[in-house]
Amino acid sequence: MSKGEDKFRKIIAHCKEYGFIFPSSEIYDGLSAVYDYGQNGVELKNNIKDYWWKSMVQYHENIVGVDAAIFMHPMVWKASGHVDAFNDPLIDNKDSKKRYRADVLIEDHIASLEQKIVKEVTKAAKRFGDSFDEKMFLETNPRVQANREKIDDINVRFVAAMENGNLQGLRTLIEELEIVCPVSGSRNWTDVRQFNLMFSSQMGSASDGASQVYLRPETAQGIFVNYLNVQKTGRKKLPFGIAQIGKAFRNEIVARQFIFRMREFEQMEMQFFVKPGEEKEWYEYWKEQRMQWYLALGIPKELFRVHDHDKLAHYANMAVDIEFEFPFGFKEIEGIHSRTDYDLGAHQKYSGKKLQYFDPETNERYVPYVVETSIGLDRTFLAIISHAYREEKLDDGSERMVMNLPPALAPVKVAVLPLVKKDGLPEKGRAVFDKLKYDFNCQYEDKDAIGRRYRRQDAIGTPYCITIDHKTLEDGTVTIRERDTMKQERIPADNISSVVAKRIALRPA
Q: How far is the CB of 221 from ligand GAP (least distance, A)?
A: 8
Backbone angles phi, psi at 319, to 5 degrees: -155, 140
SS3 content of the chain, % helix, strand, coil (to 5): 45, 25, 30
HSE (side-chain half, CA atoms, 13 Å) at 280: 1
Window contacting ligand GAP (CB under 6 A); options: 198-206, 257-265, 437-445, 482-490: 257-265
Q: Which of 68, 192, 243, 262 binds ligand GAP (CB under 6 A)?
A: 262
* Diameter of the chain measured on Cα atoms: 81
In the complex with ligand GAP, which residue's Cβ is closer, 170 or 375?
A: 375
Q: What are the two backbone dihedrals, phi and then psi, of residue 338, each rounded to the nearest 5 degrees?
A: -95, 105
124-134 per-residue burial string, b: 16 or more CB within 10 A, e: under 16: beeeeeeeeee
Closer residue to ligand GAP, CB minimum distance, 215 or 425? 215
Residue with smaller CB distance to ligand GAP, 225 or 460: 225
- Could you say which DSSP state residue 368 is in? P
* CB 263, min distance to ligand GAP, A: 7
Burial of 242 (0-12, 13-18, 19+ CB in 10 A): buried
CB of 333 to ligand GAP, least distance (A): 5
Nearer to ligand GAP, 343 or 469 (CB): 343
Closer by beta carbon to ligand GAP, 105 or else 322: 322
Contact 404, 300 (CB under 8 A): no
* Minimum distance from residue 266 beta carbon to ligand GAP (Å): 8
Pseudo-torsion of CA 98, 99, 105, 107, nearest 10°? -140
Window 306 to 335, contacts with ligand GAP (CB under 6 A): 332-335
Q: Is residue 343 a contact residue for ligand GAP (CB under 6 A)?
A: no
Asked if 265 interacts with ligand GAP (CB under 6 A), we say: yes
| 87-92 sheet: strands from edge to edge | 99-101, 87-92, 193-196
C-beta separation of 310 from 155 below 8 A? yes
Rule CB under 6 A: say whether 482 interacts with ligand GAP: no
User: By CB under 6 A, what part of segment 195-224 binds ligand GAP?
Assistant: 218, 220
50, 92, 252, 439: which one binds ligand GAP (CB under 6 A): 252
Nearer to ligand GAP, 91 or 375 (CB): 375
Residue 95 interacts with ligand GAP (CB under 6 A)?
Answer: no
Residues lying near ligand GAP in the complex (CB under 6 A):
218, 220, 250, 252, 261-262, 265, 267, 269, 332-335, 372, 374-376, 378-379
